[in-house]
Every structure is written in C-alpha cells, then in structure tokens.
Structure 1
Amino acid sequence: MLSYQIVYGKACRIPLELEHRVFWAIKYLNFDLVKAGESRIFQLHELEDFWNFAIENTKIYKEKVKKRHDKKIQVKEFQEGELVLLLNSRLKLFPEKMKSRWSGPFKIIKVFPYGAVELKDTHSNRSFKVNGKRLQPYLGESQNFQWSPLI
C-alpha cells in the first residue's frame, strides 16, 4: 500500500485524470448535497479502514523484525573473578584505524541483575559499573596474534 493511499485514502492520480474525475463526480451527483454527504461519509469510513489495515500490518512487521533480531542475540553470562575486555564506544566519533576499540583486561567484582557489571581495573585498582553488553571475555596473552614481517 502506498503512503499516499494511507494518508488520503485513494490512489494517486495525475492532474488530467483528476480533472476528469471531478467533472464526472459533478455530473454524477448533479449537485445533490445528500448524495454528496453520503459519499463523503463513505469515503471517511473507507479511509479509517485503510488506517486500521496499515496499523495492523505495521504491528505484524514489527513482531517479525523483533523475532529475527532476538534470534541473533547471544546471551553473555559472566562470573565474578573473570577477566573481560571493555568496548570503548567513544572511538566511533574519532576513528583511528590501527587502535583497538577494546580496552582492558578488567576483573569482574560483582554481577548485578539486568546486565550491570562492576569491574576493577587491574592496573589502577579503581572500580566502576558498566553494561554487560559492552563486555567480551578475555582470552589471555597466549591467544593474541603476534605479527612478524616476512623477510
């Protein structure tokens, strides 16, 4: 359904067709106000049906998109004492190509309900709370990739 049809309740017509339709409507109704009023009320009810149809379709579409999105969500569960990396979201504003967006490692002090996590910096021993969605498990020094040039 076109957006013009949702707003105005009828298909979009070019001006020549519109002029012909107006002439036909005047000729058909013959300036009878009762018929004109009845036809206008009918058009308003039809427009309301279009709106209801559009609202139902948008609800169905949103439910389908939500199901598809929820399938892709990976549940992250962290334990106290585990080492994690923290996503630095401020690098999106000033991207530096070779700089990693992950900082850390940080040690988990406490896991709160609804995804909040309290972290402790291993270097400065300060603690702070973050959203658990910004965390990633730290795999350790042994699994980091070491680049060596080919000579």
Structure 2
Amino acid sequence: MDNKLAGEKRLLQLNELDEFRLSAYDSARIYKEKTKKWHDKKILPREFAKGDKVLLFNSRLKFFPGKLKSRWSGPFLVTNVHKFGSMELKNEKGDVFKVNGQRLKLYHEGNVVGTMEVIHLHPSSSS
C-alpha cells in the first residue's frame, strides 16, 4: 500500500517537473521574441546608391584596441548594390571587393578648414 502511494506521488512530481520545464521554455521564447523585436526596431535601414562614398567598419581592431585609432577606414566608392544588402566597393587603388552593407556608413565630404604647418625642431649645436 505504501509503495503504491509513493509511486503516485513520484508520478505527480514528474508531471510537475514537466510543467515547470514547459513554462520555462515558454518564458524563454517570449523573452527572445521581445528582445528580437526591440533589436530590430533599433536597426536603422541603410540604403546606398551606386556612386556614394562610404566608410567601412573594421571589426578586427577590437582584438588590437588602440585608444585613439579609428575603426572606420575609407572612403570607398560604391560600384554596385546587390540584393540583401551586399555592396561592391572600390578603393583608391582600383581594387573591387564585396562587403555587407551593415558594416558601412555614408561618408560626408567637407571643406578643408585650414592648412597645417609642420615645424621640425633640431637641437642647437652651441654648447
């Protein structure tokens, strides 16, 4: 009689465990959906046209951080725009390569503010 009661209690515990597991899966799914919706809302659509000048994000600099080193290189010229956001870029040397459009931002050319004068200082020879 006692074994039968223990068996029923164990079955109830297993059923409760299954319910906890299923509710945990549901909670995780709901959390992931909300996070994805928030993330997708924050992404700005980037559209580039042929002939635009763009800057390319260099993600490899994260491994070799330089405090004042810019992670953007360029400017590059957009030569072709493909489906799903891939772009063909051309550098100053004329090399053409493909990149993901999410790694690009528009380059705004500006006027030169002023000229820079460089003065090299040499130690005096008088002693």
TM range (shorter): 0.7 to 0.9
Which sections of structure 1, spanning at least 5 residues, go unmatched?
1-30
- Per-residue CA distance 1:14-62 (angstroms, 9 max, x = gap): xxxxxxxxxxxxxxxxx71000001101110111011111111111111
Secondary structure in structure 2 of the residue aligned to 1:125: coil
Identity among equivalent positions (%) equals: 50
Indicate the residue corresponding to 2:79 in structure 1.
109
Normalising by structure 1, we get a TM-score of 0.71
1:76 to 41, 46, 65: 46
Which sections of structure 2, spanning at least 5 residues, go unmatched?
117-127
1:134 and 2:100 matched: no
RMSD of aligned alpha carbons: 1.8
Deviation at 1:141, TM superposition (A): 3.3
1:93 and 2:70 matched: no
Between the aligned partners of 1:85 and 1:67, the Cα distance in structure 2 is 28
Consecutive aligned runs of 4 or more in structure 1 exceeding 3 Å deviation: none
Between the aligned partners of 2:59 and 2:18, the Cα distance in structure 1 is 45
Indicate the residue corresponding to 1:125 in structure 2.
94
Number of equivalenced pairs: 115
- For 2:98, give the aligned amino acid: K
1:41 to 3, 6, 11: 11
Secondary structure in structure 1 of the residue aligned to 2:98: strand
Between the aligned partners of 1:85 and 1:141, the Cα distance in structure 2 is 14
- Per-residue CA distance 1:66-122 (angstroms, 9 max, x = gap): 11111100000000011001111111111112221111110001111111100000x
Between the aligned partners of 1:86 and 1:33, the Cα distance in structure 2 is 71
Secondary structure in structure 2 of the residue aligned to 1:95: coil
Between 1 and 2, higher relative CO (CA 8 Å, sep ≥ 6) is seen in 2
